[in-house]
Amino acid sequence: MKIRRGLSVVNFVLASYSDGAASSPHRFMTEHDVLRFFANVTLFDGHVSPNEVHLTVEGFGARSEGKQLPLDIYDKVALYLILAAKYGVEVKGIYVRKGEAKIRLKPEYAAWVFAAEWHFFSQMLRVGKAMGIGADHVIKKLEKIGKYVEKLAKKIRIEHRLIGDGVVVWFKDEKGNELAHINVRWDGRSLRAVFNGAKENAERLALILNALGAAAEAKKYGNEWYVELTTDSITAIRRPEWLEAVKALVEELHRRGVISKEKRDELIKEIEAGPNAVEVAGVEMSVVAERDNGSKQLVIRYQPTSAEAFDAAVKALKEAEFEEGVHFTAKKPEKVKQGEREIVKPGFIRLKVPAGLWRLEELRRQGVGWAEKAISRLEEIARRRGFYDLVEEHLRLAKEAETVDPRGMIAEDKERGVKAVIKNVKREWDKGRLKIVVEYETNGRTETFSFTWRVETGGGIRASVRLDEEKAAVLAALTGDEKLKGRRGTVTLTPKHLFAMAKIKDVDWVLLRWYAEAKRK
């Protein structure tokens, strides 16, 4: 009786709205929306194991007919069943007992359910692990969900065909039926994969691309829905059939004279090198070497397309004690007018170099697992893509921090007959500025000298110190700058001297932190 009553209520509600009616709340609901709904319900109120997926439906705790709330367990089961029937959700079976019901999904269908929300779930998983809550039951369940998505990705067939100056890539099921397709082309500056069409097709394509390893979203522009991949996301898909299709396009572009041999080789190298993403506190950032005024610059950034994604990423970084303005810069996505339509202009979060890398190394030294993985991944990407020198240049400073004990170090200038033993080097604060005090011994007497780092107008970092031949020899030993030997009078020290002194214990990270703060924008 209760199930019949529930079915009657749900049938009445669904029948009250025609799919095309302006008043219908289901007018914009698609199968993809329902998949996402079931994915979230299963994550937070269900069970996932290698051979079984079910969601649990419970009552509201009322024990008598007189105290029943409007919806009891039977009504809720009925709601799920009607929803499943209307949108083709493949239910394997239902088990009902007192106070609880389990709705089992077919495992092969559950993979599609999870893939529909994997773009969001994978971000949750990364952030959860970065925050050190890997033992949480939700994180554990997300890991199991990931296994289902991996199995689904392996079953998808990929085929391609060169057409003109582009390549069409089809995604098919095991029987050879087309599931979705996308066009990959050259936009004059980079490779770009684009699909435009109906919402259902765009959502299905985004689901497949995310399962394969890309970061894709279906977005509406005008009257059509689009899915777009940049070069970073294109190379993130590592299926051999996909890579073969993209390489074939690059070779065809070169054959037609669209791109030069150098550009062809560069693109092939990017494709073979694989994804250039590194996770920093759960935020997936791309790593590239960009040319700026003729020189290469290391760029580590994330480009969120929604305010929610932006806020979540900034929150994750701040919880890892990355300070905005010191370790990263950020700009929120914004809605802008493009002709008659409104579009979202992506925002950005950019890790500052070198301060952001120094913070990563500092966390690694503290035993933070994700930071160690991030540095390892960053170095791997740089090696494969040919800009390891840029990464090494900045990381080396942090890796060498506090590795030198200066006590007992010999400072010698043979040409001038100077020999001293360094007794101690320490740091002090002088009205908010960082002061370095050096103590040494020579000819049976103990001497000290000091210098204070400052930020000059224009942002330059400098320190001034008065030297004689003894002090010059000592400072040369501490900084490794042989040119300081023999200097007399006031000498100006630059950031290279600051970085060298960061190696010294009891000076170490404080110098690097002060420098990062001083260079805040």
Token look-up 């409104």 returns 342
pLDDT given at position 446: 96
Query: Is residue 223's pLDDT more than 70?
Result: yes
**Structure confidence at residue 324 as a pLDDT band (50, 70, 90):** very high
Q: Which pLDDT tens digit goes with each residue over 478-519?
A: 999 999 999 999 999 999 999 999 999 988 888 999 999 988
pLDDT given at position 357: 95
**Phi and psi at residue 24, to the nearest 5°:** -75, 125
Q: Which pLDDT tens digit goes with each residue over 158-171?
A: 999 999 889 999 99
pLDDT given at position 61: 52
Share of the chain above pLDDT 90, in %: 57
Q: Which pLDDT tens digit goes with each residue over 119-130?
A: 888 878 877 776
pLDDT given at position 296: 85
Share of the chain above pLDDT 70, in %: 90
pLDDT given at position 404: 93
Q: Which pLDDT tens digit goes with each residue over 44-98?
A: 888 999 999 998 887 655 455 555 444 567 777 888 888 888 888 888 888 887 7
**Structure confidence at residue 13 as a pLDDT band (50, 70, 90):** very low
**Structure confidence at residue 432 as a pLDDT band (50, 70, 90):** confident
Strand spans (E) along 87-240:
91-97, 100-105, 157-163, 166-172, 178-186, 191-197, 218-221, 224-229
pLDDT given at position 26: 42
Mean pLDDT, rounded, for 318-340 = 89
Q: How far is CA 273 from CA 11, 303, 380, in A?
A: 54, 21, 10
Contacts with 287 (C-beta within 8 Å, 6 or more apart), sequence order? 276, 277, 278, 298, 299, 300, 378, 381, 382
Query: Is residue 426's pLDDT more than 60?
Result: yes
Mean of the per-residue pLDDT values of the chain: 86
Mean pLDDT, rounded, for 317-330 = 94
pLDDT given at position 22: 34
pLDDT given at position 295: 82
Q: Are 397 and 353 in contact (CB under 8 A)?
A: no
pLDDT given at position 151: 93
Q: Are 461 and 515 in contact (CB under 8 A)?
A: yes
pLDDT given at position 24: 40
Mean pLDDT, rounded, for 291-299 = 84
pTM for the model = 0.66
Token look-up 């082309």 returns 185
Query: Is residue 23's pLDDT more than 60?
Result: no
Find the helix or strand (DSSP H, E) in which 114 lies: helix 107-116
Enumerate the β-bridge partners of residue 429: 434
- Stronger pLDDT, 57 or 182, i.e. the higher one: 182
- Stronger pLDDT, 3 or 391, i.e. the higher one: 391
What's the Rg (C-alpha) of the chain? 31
Contacts with 224 (C-beta within 8 Å, 6 or more apart), sequence order? 196, 197
- Stronger pLDDT, 29 or 307, i.e. the higher one: 307
pLDDT given at position 520: 78
